[in-house]
Amino acid sequence: MILSFSASGFDVLLALDGSLPERQFFLENSRLPIIAADGAALSLAKIGVSAQEAIGDFDSLTAENRDDLQLAGTKLIYDAGQDDNDFEKLLRYALNNGQRRFLLCGFQGGELEHTLNNWSVLMKYAANPNTDACFCIYDSGRYAVPVNQSLEVNLHTGEIVSLIPQPLARVTTRGLEWRLDNEELRLGRREGARNRAISPNVGIELHQGSYLLCLDSRLPLAPAFETKNNSK
C-alpha cells in the first residue's frame, strides 16, 4: 500500500469540542462540509465559521445560541444519547449519510478522559472493515492516520515521524533514523514516537497489529491510501 497526498481525499470535516485550529485551517478546507459537536459549533461561530450540522443534547447552549447557529445556516440535530460520546454521535450520523473519509479536528483538549475516549472510538471504527472508513486527525500542524497495512510514503528528509501502537504493532521500517526490524511496539511498554525520516522514501512493513502514523500535515492535501498496482 502507498500513502500519497491528494487535494480531494476527504468527504467531510468533523469538529469535536476540543482545541480547535485557527480560522485559516477552515478556510483552507472550505470545500468540506462541517459536522460539529454542539459545543464546537458554538466555538466555530465565534471565529466566523459555520457548521452545516451541529449534533448533541444542546444543554450547554442558550436559546440565543441556538437561534444564532440556525440563523448562520447550521442545522441542529438533537441526540441526547448517553452511551456514545460526541465523536461517535458525529461518526454515526456521517456514516449513515454515506460519508467515509474523515478529517478530524478538536480531537484533544479539555479533560484528559475526553481525549482518551475519542482515541478509543477511533480505534474501534478504524479497525472495523464494515465501516470502510478512513480517518485523519489534524492537530497543531500534524496529521495522525490509523494504519493497518504495510505502506510506503514519500516524506521530507528530516521530518519527524511517530508510530503509536493501537495497542500493539510489530513493524520493520526503512528510511527512518532509528530502524525497527520486526520489533514490537506496545502501549505501556514501548512506543515508536519521534523518529526521523533520513530518506524521502519511507517504508513500514506491518507484520501484526495497527498503529497511528503521525507526520507533518500537507493541508489542504489529504492522506490517501492506494494499492501498489493502482499507483502505477
- CA 125 to chain centroid, in Å, comes to 12
Average pLDDT, the chain: 91
**76/169 same-domain check:** no
**151/134 same-domain check:** no
Predicted pLDDT at 225: 83
In a domain, 74, yes or no: yes
In a domain, 95, yes or no: yes
pLDDT surpassing 70 at residue 231: no
Residue 86: half-sphere exposure toward Cβ, Cα within 13 Å: 27
The CATH code of the domain that includes 111 is 3.40.50.10240
Looking at the structure of the chain, the number of domains it has is 2
In a domain, 165, yes or no: yes
In a domain, 25, yes or no: yes
- How would you class 59 by CB atoms within 10 Å of its CB: exposed for 0-12, middle for 13-18, buried for 19 or more? exposed
In a domain, 26, yes or no: yes
Question: Sorting pLDDT into bands at 50, 70 and 90, what band is 232?
Answer: very low
pLDDT surpassing 50 at residue 212: yes
pLDDT average, residue stretch 167-183: 97
Find the domain containing 166 and state its range: 146-216
pLDDT average, residue stretch 63-81: 88
**14/125 same-domain check:** yes
If one compares 62 and 176, the residue with the highest pLDDT of the two is 176
**57/153 same-domain check:** no
**124/92 same-domain check:** yes
- Whose CA is closest to 32, among 14, 54, 55? 14
Least reliable range by pLDDT among 67-71, 175-179, 195-199: 67-71
In a domain, 97, yes or no: yes
- Tell me how far apart the alpha carbons of residues 191 and 171 are, in angstroms, rounded to a whole number: 12
pLDDT tens digits for range 103-160: 999 999 878 998 999 999 999 998 777 778 889 999 999 999 999 999 999 999 999 9
pLDDT surpassing 90 at residue 187: yes
Report which residue type is found at 36. A
**166/81 same-domain check:** no
**156/121 same-domain check:** no
- CA 40 to chain centroid, in Å, comes to 16
pLDDT surpassing 60 at residue 6: yes
Cell numbers standing for residue 34: 462541517
- Tell me how far apart the alpha carbons of residues 35 and 74 are, in angstroms, rounded to a whole number: 9
Predicted pLDDT at 61: 83
3-state secondary structure of 29: coil
pLDDT surpassing 70 at residue 229: no
In a domain, 89, yes or no: yes
**137/154 same-domain check:** no
Least reliable range by pLDDT among 25-29, 41-45, 107-111, 113-117: 107-111
Axis crossing angle, helix 38-46 with helix 86-96, rounded to the nearest 10: 90
**85/173 same-domain check:** no
**31/129 same-domain check:** yes
Cell numbers standing for residue 231: 499507483
**96/207 same-domain check:** no
Predicted pLDDT at 153: 96
pLDDT average, residue stretch 60-89: 87
pLDDT average, residue stretch 201-219: 96
Q: Are 42 and 69 in contact (CB under 8 A)?
A: yes
Element (H, E) at 68: helix 63-71
**Angle at the Cα of 112 (from 128 to 100), degrees rounded to 5?**
25
Q: For residue 194, count other CB atoms closer than 10 A to its CB.
A: 11
Within the chain, what is the greatest distance between any pair of CA atoms? 58
Predicted pLDDT at 230: 44
Q: Are 47 and 72 in contact (CB under 8 A)?
A: no
Q: Are 225 and 9 in contact (CB under 8 A)?
A: no
**24/134 same-domain check:** yes
- Its pTM stands at 0.90
Q: Are 14 and 85 in contact (CB under 8 A)?
A: no
